[in-house]
Amino acid sequence: MIAVIDYGVGNLFSVEKALLQFTSDVIVTNDEAKIASAQKLVLPGVGDFGECMRNLEKTGLIPVIMDKINSGTPLLGICIGQQILFEGSEESPGAKGLGIFKGMVKRINAPGLKVPHMGWNNVTFSEPRNAIFKEHGEHPYFYFVHSYHCVPEDKSIITATAEYGETITAAVAKDNVMATQFHPEKSGDVGLLVLKQFINM
């Protein structure tokens, strides 16, 4: 079972609908027992870093999410669901992220360009490719909506980048935890391929 974690933020049903194209074993839930029994987790998120963390803390689900990660369950973070895997964000000073990855989320530095970075942009994959990108062609386009991006301390966890005024982190992964800044559920066939590969891991 794939559990899409419902903590009151994110395109939950868009993600669910996209996953359902490849498997019927998907549930949107905030039930601790169902999350604990899931084989894979998806952590979506949209909006403000601090608000997302406050909502997640209110659910009481952080311990079970951390237990699942520590036990090796694959987790896919999407958009703010990627950012809250880090220690904190310039967007919400004082708000602590989950700290699964060391580093901060910083505002995009794009002089002369509109921020938020919104729309389609092509990405460059790090080699060797992460499993969720192994069937993609070179420099596919994905859909982004964000003003901040993740800046990991360990650059080796960056699995894809995009250019928008500066090089921005488009995806990260380490062991069983992977995440994308772009929205695979809004990125057409190339985005669906990311979700298909995650399901098939």
Question: Peptide bond preceding 116: is omega within 30 degrees of 0, i.e. cis?
Answer: yes
Q: Which residues of 142-162 are buried (b: 16+ CB within 10 A; e: fewer)?
A: bbbebebbbebeeeebbbbbb
149 tagged catalytic: no
> Which pLDDT tens digit goes with each residue over 28-42?
999 999 999 999 999
Tell me how far apart the alpha carbons of residues 97 and 85 are, in angstroms, rounded to a whole number: 6
List the beta strands (DSSP E) in 37-97: 40-43, 75-78, 88-89
pLDDT value of residue 11: 76
pLDDT value of residue 9: 82
- Tell me, yes or no, if the pTM score tops 0.95: yes
117 tagged catalytic: no
- Give domain limits for the chain: 2-199
Specify the amino acid at residue 44. Answer: P
Set 16, 52, 79, 150: catalytic member: 79
Q: Which residues of the chain have pLDDT under 70?
A: none
pLDDT value of residue 47: 87
183 tagged catalytic: yes
Tell me how far apart the alpha carbons of residues 33 and 29 are, in angstroms, rounded to a whole number: 10
What is the architecture, at CATH level 2, of domain 2-199? Answer: 3-Layer(aba) Sandwich (3.40)
